[in-house]
Chain A
Amino acid sequence: DIQMTQSPSSLSASVGDRVTITCRASQGIRHYLAWFQQKPGKAPKSLIYGASSLQSGVPSKFSGSGSGTDFTLTISSLQPEDFATYYCQQYYTYPWTFGRGTKVEFK
């Protein structure tokens, strides 16, 4: 199975901050990388697919980049509704696998 490693596991930030989360795959996955946002007690919300393509309705403050093994999710200006846990997921090979998540907390 492909292992997905996210860093950091948690971070503290303030409203208006630019936040970057990284995700590394244990082997190359081309651009087949997705990002999700999950708030406590809620279902994951799909944010990005194909490493950099925004899902319909997702605001442009979210952006993704990367290819191969190294990927990033950036939130350009953190807002109160963005405090959540973010997961990456590879869908290049089966079984699809997720990272352990990065919790974005209020500083």
Chain B
Amino acid sequence: QVHLQESGPGLVKPSETLSLTCTVSGGSISPYYWNWVRQPPGKELEWIGYVYHSGTTNYNPSLKSRVTMSVDSSKNQFSLKLSSVTAADTAVYYCARATGPKWDLPYFDSWGQGTLVTVSS
């Protein structure tokens, strides 16, 4: 049973960069899609993007100019960086795994517990 755990600062100042790491245990980084999804307080879920085990990325166009994702297979970790944050970026950030056969589209199957990141001075 794979387990995902987010880690990183819970408080980030406006205009700074939010950095989170997700550690994967009980499974391999390969051959999955590693995602970040966020949920502002009381609101719906928003997909931020994914990094494939090979390092290929795919970002939500609404955040693409500020997002960088990477994967470190040696540590079984992947990370998110979101630059120039504002109060609108305050949310619970979830890491999640997407899987599926190579011939079909990937879907979510496992989620981390989430971590609240507040943007405030």
Contacts and interface: CB of A to CB of B under 8 A. Distances in A.
* Majority secondary structure of chain A interface residues (helix, strand, loop or mixed): loop
A87 interface: yes
Given A94-B58, A96-B47, A97-B47, A44 B94 contact: yes
Chain A, interface residues (CB within 8 Å), range? 20 to 34
B109 A43 contact: no
Interface string B94-121: 1010101000011111111110000000
A95 interface: yes
Contacts of A64: none
Q: Chain B interface residue count: which class?
A: 20 to 34
Contacts, number: 57
A98 interface: yes
B62 interface: yes
Contact of B45 (A42, A92, A98): A98
B72 interface: no
A36 interface: yes
A95 B47 contact: yes
Nearest to B61: A95
B108 A100 contact: no
Given A32-B105, A95-B61, A95-B62, A44 B47 contact: no
Interface string B44-79: 111100000000001011100000000000000000
Contact of A34 (B37, B60, B107, B110): B107
B80 to A, nearest CB: 15
A97 B45 CA distance: 8
B47 A43 contact: no
A55 interface: yes
B113 A42 contact: yes
Minimum-distance CB pairs A-B, first 10:
A49-B107, A95-B60, A96-B47, A43-B111, A98-B45, A100-B44, A43-B113, A43-B114, A46-B108, A46-B109
